[in-house]
Structure 1
Amino acid sequence: MEIRHLQYIAEIVRRNSFTKAAEALHITQPTISKMIKNLENELNLELFIRDGKQIKLTDAGKAIHSYAGPILQLFDHLQAEINDLTYLKKGNVRVGLPPMAGSRFFPGVIKSFQDRYPGIALTLVEDGARKVEESVAEGILDVGVVLWPVDEELFDSFPLVEDRLKVILHPSHRLASQQQLTLAELAEERFILFNSEFALHSRIIKECISSGFDPHIVYESSQWDFIGEMVAENLGIAMLPSRICDALDPKKVRSIPLVQPIIPWRLIMVWKREGYLSLATRQWISFTREKFNS
């Protein structure tokens, strides 16, 4: 059994498909099928069962897969440490960025980092904060920007941006002239939310329920500017961080501070407490900490 066998098994389970796993690994489908078959012959055990379009692990497959993740992470850490020793100042950092954070706060930081460390490649993955947090925990990403709070036993972190949510409304809305709003006043409104990959999705729903109502959600999106345009078309109301509201056209939408409750929006940079951090990743953490705390 070789490391690549574990890589193939992990990718097949992740994609639930030999074909998609082969595409992700940049090999052909016959190649990955042949490698798994050779391993099954070597072990004299079946690892996968095809049940229609579903691919299921046998007991032997489950046993191997349960060890594959930790072994592959250790192997990645070993490769990263060797690369650090061999190619100082070079490497790759996998960074997760939610759309609001990426577009609003990071283009200049990324440019400055690349100017200082031209040998380090940044792989940027744009996703909701909840998904970014999961990917950092699983070792798919090295670092990520997420919403506070997080599990402090699992993650190290430092603060980036502190803000609060405001309500955005069409200028003709009956509440558009108010100086502030409570969540209870919005009980009958049509809500436009980020989709469930975003931490704000569940946070807003939770706060609405705490205020005595289930929000009537009419649209969901992954893009803050699209949410703003939908509000501008009077399709519903939304909640966005104050700094994001500043980027919206005040002729199209009205943004009003939300009180009772105040919903904080605190961005933090996270990485796993346990495991090896490459030199490139440590340089990214140090650089962004310096930029945001200066």
Structure 2
Amino acid sequence: MDIRHLTYFLEVARLKSFTKAAESLYVSQPTISKMIKNLEEELGVELFYRNGRQIELTDAGESMYIQGKEITKSFQNLTSEINDLMNVKKGHIRIGLPPMIGSGFFPRVMGDFRKKYPNVTFQLFEHGSITVQNSVGEGSLDIGVVVLPANEEIFHKFTIVEENLMLIVHPSHPFANEKEVELKDLHDQSFVFFREDFVLHDRITMECVKAGFHPTVIYETSQWDFISEMVYANLGIGLLPERICRDLDPEKVRKIPLVNPSIPWHLGIIWRKDRYLPFAARAWIDHTTSYMWRSVRK
């Protein structure tokens, strides 16, 4: 039995006529009759009994009619649901974001996306890049925004930001008026760091060790604004991405380029290579990619 058998049966039952059902469905009457006969043989029961030119449902036919309507309704709903998903009329996207970019670039991208796809919903998870990458790898997130590089054997990626970290200090700090500062000159400073589940934690530590010292960390946090507030309170120094530093009050903290070496902060969107990606998530990646290209051209 397939959905076409049910459709033919229901139309005959509704119109109580093979001829009228054939006309309604734009098929020949022998086709309708054959379909109903095949259905009866498959089920082992008669669905109609004939009384002259009239046809009526048997008790088995009545049950078939009631259940058949529910089945075809469910099938139509399923078809409609799949069509909506394929055309991104609806959908749900699970995205992981580092906390430091949650209030910057992505609200604009999402706002633009929502205008185009108003019935797609988002579930945002704010974690450090390590946790986000693991969650995308495990499948609990569809898409992640992480500090690159990511494992290219596992993930597709699209780079969205290429910047460096900048040094931030209190306005009274000896480095406050410097045009640039070398990393090795920070050997005796107290740092306010991101937590260990942030890629920047290990990356900054590694670069400091390469420069000849191990950083003295007095606080660790998941929030970039907490780092800037700690620096404003003159409790230590911090390293933040250029994008974040643009919004800092120069009366409270000073931002200075870090050199020899500079520490890159490259962000990318990642998703699994070997896992199904929902239609809405694919549309969001395409939209974000297009948005970035438009931004570059401006």
What is the TM-score when the length of structure 1 is the normalising length? 0.70
Instruction: Judge conservation of contact 1:191–1:236 (CA < 8 Å) in 2.
Output: yes
Q: Aligned pair 1:124/2:140, yes or no?
A: no
Per-residue displacement from partner, 1:97-132 (whole Å, max 9, x unpaired)?
111222111111111111111121111111111111
Give the aligned partner of residue 234 of structure 1.
234
Deviation of 1:82 (Å):
11
Q: CA deviation at 1:84?
A: 4.0
* Aligned-partner Cα distance in 2 for 1:234–1:86: 55
DSSP-derived class of the 1:274 partner: coil
Kindly indicate whether the alpha-carbon contact (under 8 Å) linking 2:85 and 2:279 is maintained by their aligned counterparts in 1.
no
What is the distance in 2 between the residues matched to 1:105 and 1:251?
Answer: 24
**Equivalent residue of 1:106, what SS?**
helix
Equivalent residues of 2:85, 2:280 under 8 A apart: no
Q: Partners in 1 of 2:148 and 2:202 — Cα distance?
A: 13
Aligned residue for 2:98? 98
Question: What is residue 167 of structure 1 aligned with on the other side?
Answer: 167
Q: Does the 8 Å CA contact 2:169/2:237 hold for their aligned counterparts?
A: yes
In structure 2, what is the equivalent of residue 209 of structure 1? 209
| Displacement after TM superposition at 1:248 (Å) | 0.6
Kindly tell me: are residues 116 and 171 of structure 1, through their superposed partners in 2, closer, same or farther at Cα, counting changes over 3 Å?
same
Q: Could you tell me which residue of structure 1 aligns to residue 256 of structure 2?
A: 256
In 1: Cα distance, 2:164 partner to 2:80 partner: 43
Which residue is 1:135 aligned to? Answer: 135
| Distance in 2, Cα, partners of 1:286 & 1:252 | 39
In structure 2, what is the Cα distance between the partners aligned to 1:107 and 1:202?
28
Q: How many angstroms apart in 2 are the aligned matches of 1:87 and 1:262?
A: 44
Structure 2: stretches of 5+ with no match in the other structure: 1-78
1 CA distance for matches of 2:84 and 2:159?
32
CA distance in 1, matches of 2:80, 2:247: 44
Match of 2:281 in 1: 281
Q: Is the 8 A contact 1:166 1:256 kept in 2?
A: yes
How do 1:1-294 residues align onto structure 2 when only pairs under 5 Å count? 84-85=82-83, 87-88=85-86, 89=88, 90-294=90-294
RMSD: 1.6
The match for 1:42 is none
Deviation at 1:282, TM superposition (A): 0.6
Which residue in 2 is equivalent to 1:57? none
What is the DSSP-based 3-state SS (H/G/I as helix, E as strand, rest coil) of the residue aligned with 2:255? strand
Offset, 1:85: 4.9
Q: Deviations over 1:215-268 (max 9, x none)?
A: 000001111111101100000000001121111110011111000111111110
Answer whether contact 1:83 1:91 (CA < 8 A) is retained: no
CA distance in 2, matches of 1:125, 1:209: 32
Q: Secondary structure, in 3 states, of the residue corresponding to 1:213?
A: coil
Q: 2:123, 2:217 → 1: CA distance? A: 34
Which string of whole-angstrom CA distances, capped at 9 and with x for unpartnered residues, describes residues 48-84 of structure 1? xxxxxxxxxxxxxxxxxxxxxxxxxxxxxxxxx9964
> 8 Å contact 1:84–1:278 — kept in the other structure?
no
Match of 2:29?
A: none
Distance 1:219 1:103, change over 3 A: same
Which residue is 2:8 aligned to? none
8 Å Cα contact 1:147/1:266 also seen in 2? yes
* Per-residue deviation, 1:86: 6.3
Task: Report the residue type matching 1:130 in the other structure.
Answer: I
- Over residues 178-202 of structure 1, what are the superposed CA-to-partner deviations in whole Å (9 max), with x where a residue is unaligned? 1111111000000001111211111
Say if 1:260 and 1:292 are closer, same or farther in 2 by CA, change over 3 A. same
The separation in 2 between residues aligned to 1:86 and 1:223, in whole angstroms, is 38
CA distance in 2, matches of 1:82, 1:158: 32
What is the DSSP-based 3-state SS (H/G/I as helix, E as strand, rest coil) of the residue aligned with 1:267? Answer: strand
Letter in 1 for 2:133: E
8 Å CA contact 1:133, 1:144 repeated in 2:
yes
Give the count of matched residue pairs: 214
AA aligned opposite 2:261? P
- Alpha-carbon separation, structure 1, partners of 2:81 and 2:231: 49
Q: What is the distance in 2 between the residues matched to 1:87 and 1:269?
A: 22
Report the counterpart of residue 10 of structure 2 in structure 1.
none
Stretch deviating more after TM superposition (235-244 or 113-122): 113-122
